[in-house]
Structure 1
Amino acid sequence: MSHHSVTIDFDEDYTQPGKLGPVDINTVYRSNPSNGAYFGPYLRYINIDLESSTWYGSAMIVIASNSAPIFEIHPSSDPSQMRAIAPLLVYQYKEFFFFRYNIAVPQLPSDQGQFWTYAITNNGVTLTYQFLVAGARDIQWRFMAFSCADFSLGVKEEERRELGGVGYLWKDVMDKHRNMGGLHAILGGGDQIYADRMWKEIGSLQAWLQTKGKESRKVYEWTNELDSDVTLAYFFFYSSSFDKPGIRDCLASIPNVFQIDDHDIFDGFGSYPEYMQQSKVFLNIGRIAFEFYMLFQHHTTVDMLKTNPDPRDLFTATGTGWHFIRFMGPTCVVVGPDTRAERQQKCIIGEQTHQELYRRMEALPHSVEHIVFMLAVPIVYPRLTMVEHILSGVQSTKRAINGAWNLIGKGATKAASLVGAEKSTNASFQNVKKAFGKSGLMSSLVSGFGEVDLLDDLADHWTHENHAIERASFVRNLQRVAKDKGVRITFISGDVHCCGMGRFVNPDAPNNYQLMYQVIASAISNVPPPGAVIRLLHNNDKIYLPEINSKEKVTDTKEEMIEFFDTDVDGSKLGDLHKLLPRRNYALAQVGDNHTMTWDLYVQNAKLTDPERTHKYGPLVVPAPERSDLGLADGLQQMKLSS
């Protein structure tokens, strides 16, 4: 076992943004590249072409110069094959130019992977990086999955420091990458940045927050000042977040596959009441956030996608929201829908997009055995039934709501009876939010009780009753795809700040096509919810997936969280709370050569002085799909390999 002495970075900033209210953003929202020259490189995985055995990706550099750095690439074992890749100017913001380099390299015609080295030369200084490209017949791809790569607004400086900062687990990922002979990809499940701080720090947004009346908020004018301030904010959030210790090394060395979630825009975006969601302020913030998401996370713009679509890369069904299907070797694909762009209070993914996703999955080649669905928010997750019942059953008067909070407070924390009612109410409110990976940002900023309440916030989840019909239809359609294609479907999600494993399963045929595991990896940087809330989530409600358009309570598909954790990271007993672990974490997946797939959770150890940063839980083994020709496929594979 490799031991390392853990060092805490002094170049990481532990300050608590938003703490002091509005700031001079032209001074505060400035980041300087850690390498002294440019932001990046950010290395992105696009796809492999199974027929031509070609690996496609891109690298991006953001530099305060219209002269692009020189980008050269070669197989790490053979520098004589060095070739240059021409830069493509994607975007310009103020003095910063976004240069993209399109990478296409051949895969070795075997199951052996190969490292490629790329070199970036700027003003006579060359920096080199390397990444792994799988062989054309390599089935056993390894990839890491994470979410929530920063702290929420309210996390205090001492807590940030005690956890080792934002970059602590990223260094563990880099260690694993080196020790395992390379990871093929990183899956970023959303909340790669946290943009919430702008609501506290940008002065021009304060005036909207202080505006009274729904209609006044909706028609509030979007000014040039707002446009300029918010644009500066997103450029700063990305350039500084992606340049933090630990993260920057991973983004340069392990090809990334990213999708959007709410904090990439701001907390809960898409789930607010119509007068807020359709206000000029929200719509324009969404536009700018999406523009920078496309640039930093996908190295493109919507204009480029529309004029020059790449069939291997992002696609849209409606012109709103861009989705992807990425091959992780010949037997596995990752499907990443955008679950924010079309989101409304009663809809997560638009119907046209659902249909396009099914159509593309049905068209996948016969070699595919595993489909991994990246859903930013888990589709299998415990319900906070007690909380929802209380809130649904009370009239929305301040007195009734306060009474409900007190009841939740007593259910969630023993301290509730010892502190004043108001404090208890507020603490419980925030604790329940944390259970769903939400900070309750807008509720606390905009109005207090009544106008944007907890139920609005929980509406962000698949498991909320607003989404019951869409969710049932979605999972039943995925069951149909799994059955017709002979594939195994697994979900990887984040958002909720704790880790665990769940599943959909037919109790009478536990290994059939209806078996779909839910892996939850969250958060790699953010803080866990309080233990009392984890207790609330360990309810024993028996839940069944409804048939489409049916009111039957018991069906052929049960959903449940699995008792995955025997002990805590230090070996201590967990009592009866074995389903969700409230510690920082990430997941590692490997596609098996025996048609299975395994998932491990790497969970941060209790002390920064521990010789290892993480404790491993797993593996969870996703079985081979039920398919009569699997044995035959093995035979063909052996013949190919021996020929």
Structure 2
Amino acid sequence: MVHFENAPAAVTNGQASNLNARVDVICGPLINFKNMDVNPTSSIWRGSVLIVTQPGQSQPRLLLRQAGPVEGHVAANGARSGDAAVAVDGVRLYEDPQKAFWRFSLALPLERYEARWEYSIPGLQYAEGSEVHSPWDFVVPSVNQSMRLMFHSCNGFSVGTDMNAWVGPNLWKDVLRVHAQKPFHAMIGGGDQLYNDGIRVDGPLKEWTSISNPHTRRAHDFDNNLRARCDEYYYANYIRWYSTDPFKAANGRIPQINIWDDHDIIDGFGSYTDHFMRCSVFRGLGGVAFKYYCLFQHHIAPPKSTYTTDAPQTMQAVNGTAGADPRQLENTFVLEEQKEDDSWIIGKRPGPYVEERSRNLYMRLGKRMAFIGVDARTERTRHQVNYPDTYDLIFSRLQSEVAAANGDIKHLIVLLGVPIAYPRLAWLENILSSPIIAPIRLLNKRFGFAGGLFNQFDGQVDLLDDLDDHYTARQHKKERRIFIQRLQDFSKTHSVRVTILGGDVHLAAIGRFYSNPSLRIHSEHDPRYMVNVISSAITNKPPPKAVANLLARRNKLHHMDSSTDETLMDFFDRQPGGQEKSAAWNKVTMPSRNYACITEIGLPMSNGNASAAQEDPAAFPLPMDGHSPLHKGEANAGSSHPAADGFSSSSGMPGGLDVTIRVEINPQDREAATDGYAFSIPALAYVPSEADSRPHSRARSLRPRSLRPPSRQSARPHSAVP
């Protein structure tokens, strides 16, 4: 039985007299994954499809049918192919005199086979007259599969990019090629799904940005007129970008999972000085950006109103949303959602600069995989990433979900907006914030000297907001350490491997945390072994070779605590397609556009006995340090790994992953040819060691210091290598 929102009617052969109305579509369809109900009796996949239409449309409908097993798979008994279509009524989320947003909510039963589903929207016509490529299709995993994932970030261009040098969102062509070979069940957006920075260059903030006096700029109102112009800008930018092929084609066929980052709002949002971040214009931008983030990226109704300085009821969040402004609701409909989707972990209190509560995600990604998406932007300041109680909510949800899964969950994917295992740049922070810069800043204010070095908002060095965003920035180090230790504790308690995804930095790398080699713990048994897959950017330009090489030189061995080391992995064994992207000695950072493929390792078979093919981890020698491979899956990392093509896989224990980074060879190549690099992450089989139980060993408790009972030892300051 297929379940849908608003009790739809079945339609024979996709025909019905009430499905003939024309639907003038401005943007879409966009398909999202919401969550899965996984249980022994019936497992359900839940998602949604969004379209943006001209206002005043009659209620649209979506026709959905299962097309049977994915090509190449043998259908099990009872496999359905060519079922009668089911009609799904659209639910109106938002409408004003310019546009309307409609959501079709889906709930599909998982089969014993990987199934392809097809959908169409009768009467759909694009408002600008472009051709409709219907039906669209997507793939859901079988009841025994974990999801196959694609991960991307930074899907747009920074202001000032030479557009003649970079062919648009070209790399999505390769995504669709790989998807055709072996379908992705979901694509994860790690933030910056589009870039809204142009609002200050050729948009309604141009005049405000040009105000030279910082005090006057901070005191500027964000009235309803400015809000309306910003609203129009954000909406038009979403429409433009989400209607651009080949990104548009992927949006309709690969279900999305998204979190946001600064460029979804404006460059550096949250990481400028506090007194400037609290100015009305930034708070207003946060509200408008949140509105369209809800609609386009999550298919949920936005708040009824957003912040303005001429409507006092919008200036203070009430229960996590601003009070209603009658002017913003004039000729406007906003759906009042009956209940929140169960994928949300909603913060307890509004962010400091966005009048909304954070929206973190929990999702089950198939049989053996779970997912946490951390909203690291709504609560962000220069001195914090998330409130402590938000971390408590996340780990509480994880505990309850893993307990309810009865041991099925073997791998946890954690999505962050920025990398967390990444080279330190404290020395650069010190230089850029030192008194040496003060005379140059004064010359900049008076005469515009070195204008490219300073941002247009708080007058600080432009790079500082990027550096302050990093978990490795000095003000975030304690929060970072406690977060990683809590993940280690979770991994150890439940024998669940943790893998972290992060983007933002416009290059590819593989960071990892792991037990200090002196503890002699093999990665297969090590709950501290956590990989940070760094994949960025899929569209934006990469940094210069010199920057990538500098980061590679800063790839030192770091000691996060007395038991945990970290470093980047040697991964890029050759230059992609023979094109020189970085120095020949640089094996750890790749400055070229890229994206990642993540696939559960296939189960090995030996005479019908899966366990017979498992290798003893002890057969791989323990490394001297993290500059060496830590286990077999890292030993053959790079272009020769079986999964380097993005759709093949290796074999091992269920719960392990193959990770592939697909790297663009030539940004001028309109066919977007790529080269692939891959490695494997082993499943975790935690075995308590003598070092873990010894009271005064280097392997101290994985419980974060802030959560342990006070003692004379714990009162001493904790040392960490910067």
Q: Into which bin does the TM-score normalised by the smaller protein fall?
A: 0.7 to 0.9
Shift of residue 213, structure 1, vs aligned partner: 3.8
C-alpha distance 268-254 of structure 1, shift in aligned 2 (>3 A): same
Which secondary structure state, in structure 2, belongs to the residue aligned with residue 533 of structure 1? helix
Does 1:382 find its partner at 2:383? no
Alignment of 1:307-346 (within 5 A): 307-313=338-344, 315-318=346-349, 320-346=357-383
Alignment partner of 1:142 out of 148, 151, 176? 148
Cα gap change, 1:485 to 1:393, in 2 (>3 Å)? same
- Contact between 1:147 and 1:495, CA under 8 Å: does it hold in 2? yes
Distance in 2 of aligned mates of 1:504 and 1:627: 16
Partner in structure 2 of residue 18 of structure 1: none
Q: Distance in 1 between matches of 2:567 and 2:258?
A: 27
Equivalent residue number for residue 159 of structure 2: 153
- Say if 1:148 and 1:525, in contact at 8 Å, map to a contact too: yes
1:105 aligned counterpart, secondary structure? strand
Give the 3 Å change call, closer, same or farther, for CA 69–611 of structure 1 in structure 2. closer
- How many pairs were matched up? 543
What amino acid sits opposite 2:535 in the alignment?
Answer: A
State the alpha-carbon separation in 1 of the partners of residues 533 and 233 from structure 2. 33
Q: Unpaired segments of 5 or more residues in structure 2?
A: 1-22, 69-80, 126-131, 304-334, 351-356, 604-652, 689-722
Aligned-pair CA distance for 1:605: 1.2
Q: 1: distance between equivalents of 2:661 and 2:122?
A: 38
User: Which residue of 2 is the match for residue 599 of structure 1?
Assistant: 659
d(CA) in 2 for partners of 1:602 and 1:44? 23
- Deviation at 1:36? 7.2
Corresponding residue to 1:459 among 450, 464, 468: 468
Q: Aligned residue for 2:673?
A: 613
CA positional deviation for 1:474: 0.5
Q: 1:305 to 1:323 in 2, by over 3 A?
A: farther
Could you tell me which amino acid in structure 2 is paired with residue 518 of structure 1? N
Q: 1:286 maps to which residue?
A: 286
Match of 1:84 in 2: 87
Q: 2:560 touches 2:566 (CA, 8 Å); kept in 1?
A: no
Aligned mate of 1:73, from 54, 64, 70: 64
Residue of structure 2 equivalent to 1:445: 456
Query: Residues 445, 393 of structure 1: CA spacing in aligned structure 2 closer, same or farther, 3 A cutoff?
Result: closer
- SS of 1:583's equivalent in the other structure is coil
* Partner in structure 2 of residue 564 of structure 1: 571
2:231 alignment partner in structure 1 = 231
Distance between the aligned counterparts of 1:80 and 1:515, measured in 2?
46
Alpha-carbon separation, structure 2, partners of 1:470 and 1:385: 16
> Secondary structure at the residue paired with 1:349?
coil
* Equivalent residues in 2 for 1:20-39, closer than 5 Å: 37-39=25-27
- 1:205-354 superposed matches below 5 A: 205-207=206-208, 209-210=210-211, 212-214=213-215, 216-302=216-302, 307-313=338-344, 315-318=346-349, 320-354=357-391
Q: Deviations over 1:320-340 (max 9, x none)?
A: 110111111121112101110
1:398 offset after TM fit, Å?
Answer: 1.7
Q: Which has the higher contact order (CA 8 A, sep 6+)?
A: 1
| Distance in 2 (alpha carbons) for counterparts of 1:446 and 1:357 | 33
The answer on whether the counterparts of 2:555 and 2:568 sit within 8 Å (CA) in structure 1 is no
**Offset at 1:533?**
1.0
What value does the CA root-mean-square deviation take over the aligned residues? 2.6
What's the CA shift for 1:517? Answer: 0.3
- SS state at 2:576 partner: coil
Rounded to whole Å, the distance in 2 between the matches of 1:544 and 1:175 is 39
Indicate how the Cα distance of structure 1 residues 458 and 105 shifts in structure 2: closer, same or farther if over 3 A, else same: same
Taking a change above 3 Å as real, the CA distance of residues 484 and 70 of structure 1, as seen in their structure-2 partners, is same
Alpha-carbon contact 2:24-2:53 (below 8 Å) kept: no
Tell me which protein shows more helix as a share of its residues. Answer: 1
Distance 1:496 1:625, change over 3 A: same
Separation in 1 of the partners of 2:270 and 2:483? 19
- How far off its partner does 1:505 sit? 1.1
* Native 8 Å contact 2:511 2:531 kept in 1: yes
Contact map agreement 1:295 1:301 (CA 8 A) in 2: yes
1:222, distance to aligned residue in structure 2 (A): 1.3
Segments of 5+ residues of structure 1 without an aligned counterpart are: 1-34, 404-421, 430-442, 548-554, 630-643
1:56 aligns with 2:87: no
Structure 1 residue matching 2:231: 3-state secondary structure: helix
Where 1:310 maps in the other structure, the secondary structure is coil
Q: Compared with structure 1, are the counterparts of its residues 211 and 223 closer, same or farther at alpha carbon in structure 2 (3 Å cutoff)?
A: farther
Give deviations 1:573-593, integer Å, cap 9, x for gaps. 742211100000000000124
Residue identity matched to 1:531: K
C-alpha distance in 1 between matches for 2:573 and 2:443:
38
Residue among 359, 364, 369 paired with 2:410: 369
Question: CA 1:275–1:315 in 2, change beyond 3 Å: closer, same or farther?
Answer: closer
The residue type equivalent to 1:224 in the other structure is: N
Of the three residues 668, 679, 682, the one matched with 1:623 is 682
Q: 1:306 to 1:58 in 2, by over 3 A?
A: closer
Contact 1:382 1:539 in 2 (8 A): no
